[in-house]
Amino acid sequence: MDTVELTKKLVEINSVTGSEGEVCEFVKNYLEENGIKVEKNQVDDKRYNIIARTGSGEKKLILCSHFDTVPPHIPLSGKDGKLYGRGTCDAKCHIASSLNILIELSKTKLNGELIFVGVTAEEVGGDDGAKKVVEELGLKADAAIILEPMDLRLAIAQVGVIWADLEMTGKEMHVTQMNDEANVVGEMAKLVAKLHEEFPKKFNQDSLVGKPQFQVTVFKGGETTNVLAGKCIAKLDCRHTPNETKEQIYEFIDECINLSNLKVKPEVKETAYRPVLETNKENDIVKTFTKIKPDIELFGYEAVTDANYFSDVGIPSVIFGCGKMDVAHTRDEHVVIDDIKKEEEILKKVCEDFLN
Ligand SMILES: [Zn+2]
């Protein structure tokens, strides 16, 4: 089936995260009908990640994209040379192009192995998807191309993300009874102000992914006006760049705690972490892209994809694909049909060149 038709078929299937079973079945059948063996990595009784390979040899290249979409499912429609609907650019056109490239290259002689990795649960952090596949199957490869709507540009870096809770515990009591007690809401407010004041002074170096960012996004404490709060929680979101390490960010938080003269020190609890990604411009996979498409824009992506799960185990990773990230996750999600064809053409040449 032609890649545009295949994209349409995939978009017609509702695969909001948690309900990818039907699309997994469709992809499995499509590959098998075209003579490709499918390996399943089961997530629950209906959903699974798919690994499919063609070619053989020392060199290995992974093409990875995701089956799931954000809610709600938006049916397929089309006008002006574009496909509209949930998942058109994020990421079903990429699933379609990778499947067809795998099938086409299975009919040629490759000097290496091309591995398709189709995953669930990307939109909720990838624990059941890319992370699970990489950990459980011990995947090894010389490079991974993660397919996401990058407007046909090549991302060679992405931010690292730290989510953490700052939690202060005080004594709940009538406000008139407090003597030397700490007001944890006031103490936390001092700390939050300090963090916001100091962060841009300390971390302001520009990088491929822009400047690092630090924001307290949730602040919760207290029950009612005349009672001193027993607890105050601030949640922070920090996006760091390849110039900073996670350890430096935590040292900075400790410094601010010390500088704020607090009556109560908070506990700092990490709730999520995605490591930073940076792939060298001299790496083979980057060079292959620039050879095939000399005017390709190299950039750093200011958000997060599954790429870090591959780079974490030593697989150099880049992010590529057609479609625009600023329409993904919106009611207006779409992809330009000609761009699907461009993606497929570039990607196929990159695979052939890398594995020859
Ligand atoms: Zn995506």
The confidence score (pLDDT) of residue 101 equals 98
pLDDT band for 34, please (50, 70, 90 cuts).
very high
Bridge partners of 117? 51, 64
pLDDT in tens, 247-276: 999 999 999 999 999 999 999 999 999 999
pLDDT in tens, 317-349: 999 999 999 999 999 999 999 999 999 999 999
The confidence score (pLDDT) of residue 179 equals 84
* Pick from 105, 12, 11: nearest CA to 323: 11
Q: What is the mean pLDDT of residues 202-213?
A: 94
90 Cα: distance to centroid of ligand 1 (angstroms): 4
89 Cα: distance to centroid of ligand 1 (angstroms): 8
The confidence score (pLDDT) of residue 203 equals 97
61 Cα: distance to centroid of ligand 1 (angstroms): 20
Helix (H) or strand (E) holding 79: strand 77-79
The confidence score (pLDDT) of residue 307 equals 97
The token pair at 356 is: 């020859």
Residue 241 has pLDDT above 90, yes or no: yes
305 Cα: distance to centroid of ligand 1 (angstroms): 7
DSSP 2-28: -HHHHHHHHHHS--BTT--HHHHHHHH
DSSP 117-139: EEES-GGGTSTTTHHHHHHHHT-
66 Cα: distance to centroid of ligand 1 (angstroms): 7
User: What mean pLDDT is reported for the chain?
Assistant: 96
The confidence score (pLDDT) of residue 258 equals 97
158 Cα: distance to centroid of ligand 1 (angstroms): 14
Could you tell me if 259 and 199 are in contact, meaning their C-beta atoms sit under 8 angstroms apart? no
How far is residue 348 from each of residues 80, 111, 242, 278, measured CA to CA in Å? 26, 14, 30, 24
286 Cα: distance to centroid of ligand 1 (angstroms): 21
pLDDT band for 315, please (50, 70, 90 cuts).
very high
113 Cα: distance to centroid of ligand 1 (angstroms): 25
70 Cα: distance to centroid of ligand 1 (angstroms): 9
The confidence score (pLDDT) of residue 95 equals 98
* Pick from 275, 261, 163: nearest CA to 217: 163
348 Cα: distance to centroid of ligand 1 (angstroms): 20
80 Cα: distance to centroid of ligand 1 (angstroms): 24
The confidence score (pLDDT) of residue 151 equals 97
Could you tell me if 317 and 310 are in contact, meaning their C-beta atoms sit under 8 angstroms apart? yes
Residue 180 has pLDDT above 90, yes or no: no
The confidence score (pLDDT) of residue 61 equals 98
Find the length of the chain.
356
d(CA 163, CA 216): 10
Residue located via tokens 């192009």: 97
Residue 67 has pLDDT above 90, yes or no: yes
The confidence score (pLDDT) of residue 178 equals 86
pLDDT in tens, 122-161: 999 999 999 999 999 999 999 999 999 999 999 999 999 9
Bridge partners of 101? none
pLDDT in tens, 79-108: 899 999 999 999 999 999 999 999 999 999
Residue 68 has pLDDT above 90, yes or no: yes
329 Cα: distance to centroid of ligand 1 (angstroms): 9
Residue 315 three-state SS = coil
pLDDT in tens, 294-303: 999 999 998 8
174 Cα: distance to centroid of ligand 1 (angstroms): 50
How far is residue 46 from each of residues 10, 20, 24, 27, 100, measured CA to CA in Å? 17, 8, 9, 14, 24
The confidence score (pLDDT) of residue 64 equals 98
180 Cα: distance to centroid of ligand 1 (angstroms): 52
13 Cα: distance to centroid of ligand 1 (angstroms): 16
147 Cα: distance to centroid of ligand 1 (angstroms): 8
Q: Could you tell me whether strands 112-119 and 59-66 are parallel, antiparallel, or unpaired per DSSP bridges?
A: parallel
Which residue segments constitute the domains of the chain, with CATH numbers given?
3-158+276-354 (3.40.630.10), 160-274 (3.30.70.360)
